[in-house]
Structure 1
Amino acid sequence: MSKPVRNRLVSIRRRLHRHPEPAWREFTTTARLVDEIRAIGVDELAVGPDAYDPADRMAVPDADLEPWLERARERGVDEDLLEQLAGGTTGAVAVVERGEGPAIGLRVDIDGLFIEESTDGEHVPAAEDFRSEIDGTMHACGHDAHMTWGLAALEAIAESDFSGRLVVFFQPAEETGGGGSPMAKSEYAAGLDYLLAVHVGLDHPTGEVVAGIEKPLAMCHVDATIEGTSAHAGKAPNEGANAMHAMGTAIESAYGIPRHADGMTRVNIGKAEAGTASNVIAERAHMEAEARGETTELMAYMKRRLERTIRSAAELHGCRADVDVVSESPRADSDPELQQIVSEVAGSVDDVERVLPAADFGASEDATFLMERVQDDGGLASYLIVGTDHPTSHHTPTFDVDERSLAHGVDVLVETIRELERRHPVPREDDE
């Protein structure tokens, strides 16, 4: 019988850190989570396509799944489980059902990033031998800590005298904005009274907790392919339609989209590729972009303008553009009633030195799909931050977490769940 998760927080986090897998490729990660959840013992466990409708997924890669599936097979993942996850239907939902009481959701994300982890001797995962074992891939955003919190909170509630329903969403594909929507549309998100989502760090130090974020930016990922006509660049350039030139015009014009008077807007072209040789007019160009807005409506404004800009630039140069919105997520703010409870709980947790009732998020998160679903159904949601001392920013090769924050996160989450059980139903401010 394995030791309790609570006694293995560091070892579980490090094991997950060693094997990061990017969006919709989290085969070994899902298998490890399933093993731990089964050892805990829950009332219901839904894996992959049983946890959500695969047709609702966004930003699913067209290729590149098979090598990750084969790597999981080589690492001894159960073949029946791999068959269930084939096609990239990763992730899981675990349910503890304990009679009458509130229905509470907890969402944690599970995917890694395409970043090569540092080998520098000052980087703790390298120095203490738990650096990523997969070249070019890394847990550079703390999702290894998030999964550890999800498992530990699940175990603590399962072993307690909790009365109610706890649903823990181990969500894939957060980094691409692809996994939140299908889980929010699933049966497991129905009827939740409360939802907690959580992130580590985000420039908040160890010992600090933010009870709920505000102003997350609504976001969309946009891929565009521009098709032109190739020609000899020296002999007959006039016979070509230059896809690279069209893409350059699109990029320059995208950064010139007027910002909106109603609030913050963002646009970025993060990747651009075109051409085959110096003496060939490029017939094809590909770019990957994103648009964000302070509200869902402002994001939609930027998305429409970005799509129009790309198509117009292609037409100007005699080319054609195929524009695809591969994923998007709305804005959803934390509810003040739930923020107040998290604040009170966090203030009583050992080694938590400072509690902020709220903080602007300034980035984007597809947990907002789940938050919005719960709020639309009459429930309350909060996205909290558990601080950690990280030596460099998120999404960098030397990102790491202070492992003291693992216990802080577990305590805040578990005690908040128990407090919601005691106070249910939590009065709304407008009701008062």
Structure 2
Amino acid sequence: MSRSDAVRAMIADRRDLHAHAEAGWCEVRTASLVARRLAGLGFAVRVGREVLAADRPGLPSHEELKAAYRRALAHGADPGFAELVRDGFTGVVATLATGRPGPTVALRFDIDANYGHESADPGHTAQRGGYRSRTDGVHHSCGHDAHTAIGLGVAREIAAASAAGEPAGEVRLVFQPAEEGLRGGPAMVAAGVVDGVDVLLGCHIGVQARATGEVIAGYRRILASHKFDAHFTGRNAHAGISPHEGRNAVQAAAIAVQNLLAISRHGDGETRVNVGTVEGGETRNSVPARAVLRGEVRADDDVILGYLRDRVGDVVRGAAAVAGVAARIETAGGAAGADSTPELAAVVARVAARVDGVTVVRDAADFKGSDDMSSFMNAVQAAGGQAVYFGLGSRLGDVHHAPFFDVDDDALVIGRDVFLGCLRELGVLG
């Protein structure tokens, strides 16, 4: 395949993935097509329960998982692989083991989309280009479609190099579900997918790099985060005749929201607190017996995160006590913080400086958010390996997680070439 054909294929892949966005643990079409493509390229492919631990936090309801499976088949999923990745086992790992001396290098790509509606405004690039999400309420608003397309582009080049007898060592391509909510990374690490890895590489598009041609060689201070659901259970009663007999769960949730957002920030580091959704009640004229809020806390080290988690518990229990209701807190996801290995970031910087289209290389930047790439990074680094998460610059249609979000297709080629250049620099590709 010529370079221009490879670029067109990457863009087509990205737009197809964008149009068929799938939320975390529901990525049946995405995972099945990625697995089929990689198997066709000659990689040894493992999927589903082979690469994900049974403990997968934040699973959607059984009904939502069933609907995702049916929708995936209707939209062209590979039936064989779809059966293996259904019910929230949507991970794929592809390996090329050459048998020749060399390092074991893993590349990680996340595949899930976000809940949220994509803009249908005629000025939105995806609407104008005909690839706006066809999945109601799900949108690739964080660029994981670009990451997956880059991963497939890298795989295509590795397969071509393998046919020419170039690679050495082992290359492991990890396509991870459910990054949003920090759920898939820990589950894949627990399944051992990065055991024995010497070097780990990953990238994120557009984070702290909003211009196409910019590369951040290694993110630092990826924030630790804890995701939680707080459930309040009260007692129904007629709101007019016997309100005193009720116990108001929505009142408890409202008290909790105000006080969660008022948690004192920590003087020793950076912290974030957010409540993303609040739901509750049954009908207008009844004291509501049910409410749930979904939130998160973030910090730049685990000690400060522990402080925030403790305060969340205090607030939820206190709100429940004021309203006279019961409360329970469920963990919905989370991951520790991480930093890129400086020596490996220096490799990325050297490589990026030689890649066509790169105009600016920055040695490092604070990530300022959370990402469960940190789970892989920490596992590899703890075993004596090196890990880097680099930033891939792109013009964006809007900020991450917003309705007009989209990325610049020109950035895909840069991302692919940085990965390939690093594989060459590490001695895996000739």
Mark the CA change 1:278 to 1:74 in structure 2 (over 3 Å): closer, same or farther.
Answer: closer
Q: What letter is aligned with 1:198?
A: C
Percent identity over paired residues: 38
Deviation per residue, 1:226-269 (Å, 9 max, x gap): 11112222222222211122122212221222221211112111
Cα root mean square deviation, aligned? 1.8
What is the rounded CA distance, in whole Å, between the counterparts of 1:128 and 1:114 in structure 2? 21
Alignment-derived partner of residue 249 in structure 2: 243
Tell me the distance in 2 between the aligned counterparts of 1:177 and 1:243: 28
Q: Say whether the 8 Å CA contact 2:233–2:325 is kept in structure 1.
A: yes
Report deviation, 1:422: 7.1
1:122 has 2:123 as partner = yes
Which residue of structure 2 aligns with residue 234 of structure 1? 240
Amino acid at match of 1:106: L
* 2:195 paired with 1:190: yes
Alignment match, 1:427: none
Which runs of structure 2 are paired with 1:39-188 in the superposition (5 Å)?
39-42=40-43, 44-53=44-53, 55-63=54-62, 64-98=64-98, 99-160=100-161, 161-188=166-193
Q: Superposed, which structure 2 residues align to 1:7-406 within 5 Å? A: 8-42=9-43, 44-53=44-53, 55-63=54-62, 64-98=64-98, 99-160=100-161, 161-204=166-209, 205-406=211-412
Give SS of 1:282's match. coil
Amino acid at match of 1:86: R
Tell me, yes or no, if the aligned pair for 2:230 and 2:329 is still in contact at 8 Å. yes
In the alignment, the residues of structure 1 paired with residue 79 and residue 348 of structure 2 have an alpha-carbon distance, to the nearest angstrom, of: 41
Between the aligned partners of 2:215 and 2:46, the Cα distance in structure 1 is: 31
Residue 2 (structure 1) shift: 12
1:426 is matched with none
In 2, the alpha carbon distance for the partners of 1:203 and 1:363 equals 10
Q: 1:5 touches 1:151 (CA, 8 Å); kept in 2?
A: no
| SS at 1:421 equivalent | coil
Mind listing any 5+ residue stretches in structure 1 that lack a counterpart? 424-432
C-alpha deviations, 1:141-195, integer Å up to 9, x for none?
A: 1111101111111222232212111111100000121100111122331111111
- How many residues end up aligned between the 2 structures? 421
For 2:80, give the aligned amino acid: D
Distance in 2 between the 1:229 and 1:138 partners?
37
Distance change in 2, residues 1:67/1:83 (3 Å): same
Secondary structure of 2:427's counterpart equals helix
Q: What's the TM-score, normalizing by structure 1?
A: 0.93
Q: Distance in 1 between matches of 2:78 and 2:216?
A: 39
Task: Name whichever of 293-302 and 4-13 sits farther off.
Answer: 4-13
Question: Judging changes above 3 Å, is the alpha-carbon distance between structure 1 residues 45 and 2 closer, same or farther for their aligned structure 2 residues?
Answer: farther
Deviation at 1:318, TM superposition (A): 1.4
For the residue of structure 2 that corresponds to 1:168, the secondary structure is strand
Change (3 A) 1:422 1:34: closer
**Which amino acid is 1:16 matched to?**
L
- CA deviation profile, 1:33-75 (whole Å, cap 9, x unmatched): 1222122211x1001112222x132211133111111112223
Partner SS state of residue 189, structure 1: coil
Relative to structure 2, which stretch is displaced further, 269-278 or 331-340? 269-278
Superposition deviation, residue 121 in structure 1: 1.9
The TM-score normalised by the length of structure 2 is 0.94
8 Å Cα contact 1:2-1:39 kept in structure 2 = no
